[in-house]
Chain A
Amino acid sequence: MLSVEDNDILTQTGPGTPMGELMREYWVPIALSSEFPVAGGDQVRILVLSERLIAFRSPDGQMGLIREACPHRGASLFYGRNEPDGIRCVYHGWKFGTDGGCIDMPSEPANSNFKRKIRATTYPVQERIGIVWAYLGSRETPPPMPNFEAFDVHADDEPDEMIASAVMRDCNWLQGMEGDLDTSHFGFLHVGHAQTSDAPDGTFLQYAIADRAPRYKIVERDFGATYGAYRQADDPDHLYWRIAHFLFPFYAMIPTGALGQKVGVRAWVPMDDEHMMMFNIGADTAYRPDPEQEVGMWVFEDDRLLPNTTDWYGRFRLEKHQGNDYLIDRDLQRSGRSFTGIPSIHTEDQAITESMGPIYDRTKEHLGTSDVMVIRMRRLLIAAARARHEDGTVPPGVDQPDAYQERSGGVVLGKDKDWLAATAYLREPGELRYEMDIQMTGGA
Chain B
Amino acid sequence: MSASFRPDPVEPPAYALSATAVETGQGEWSCLLSYDDLPGCEVMDPDPYRALDLIDECRDALIAEFGARGEPLPTPRWISGHRAVRDQNVQS
Chain A residues in the interface with B (C-beta under 8 A): 1, 213, 215-221, 367-372, 375-376, 379-380, 383-384, 387-388, 391-396, 398-400, 418-422, 424-425
Contacts and interface: CB of A to CB of B under 8 A. Distances in A.
B78 A394 contact: no
A367 B45 CA distance: 12
21 contacts: A216-B18, A217-B19, A218-B17, A219-B17, A219-B78, A367-B49, A368-B29, A368-B31, A370-B21, A371-B48, A372-B17, A372-B51, A380-B7, A384-B5, A388-B5, A391-B2, A393-B1, A399-B4, A419-B16, A420-B81, A424-B85
Interface in B7-28: 7, 14-21
Contact of B19 (A369, A387, A395): A369
Contact of B77 (A220, A369, A387, A418): A418
B7 A220 contact: yes
A384 B8 CA distance: 10
A394 B48 contact: no
B31 A218 contact: no
A274 B33 CA distance: 34
A10 to B, nearest CB: 14
Contacts of B15: 219
Closest 9 pairs (CB-CB, A-B):
A421-B81, A420-B78, A369-B21, A369-B31, A372-B19, A216-B19, A418-B81, A218-B17, A424-B82
Given A215-B19, A216-B18, A218-B16, A421 B82 contact: yes
Interface residues of B, number: 35
Contacts of B49: 1, 367, 375
Given A375-B49, A387-B5, 6 more contacts: A216-B20, A219-B14, A219-B76, A219-B78, A372-B17, A393-B5
B10 to A, nearest CB: 13
Chain A at the B interface: SS class = mixed
A435 to B, nearest CB: 15
Interface of B: 1-5, 7, 14-21, 29, 31-33, 36, 47-49, 51-52, 76-82, 84-86, 89
Contacts of A367: 47-49
B16 A219 contact: yes
Contact of B52 (A220, A372, A396, A399): A372
B81 A422 contact: yes
A384 B6 CA distance: 8
Contacts of A218: 16-17, 19
Contacts of B7: 220, 379-380, 383-384, 396
A421 B21 CA distance: 25
A384 B51 CA distance: 21
A371 B21 CA distance: 11
A372 B32 CA distance: 11
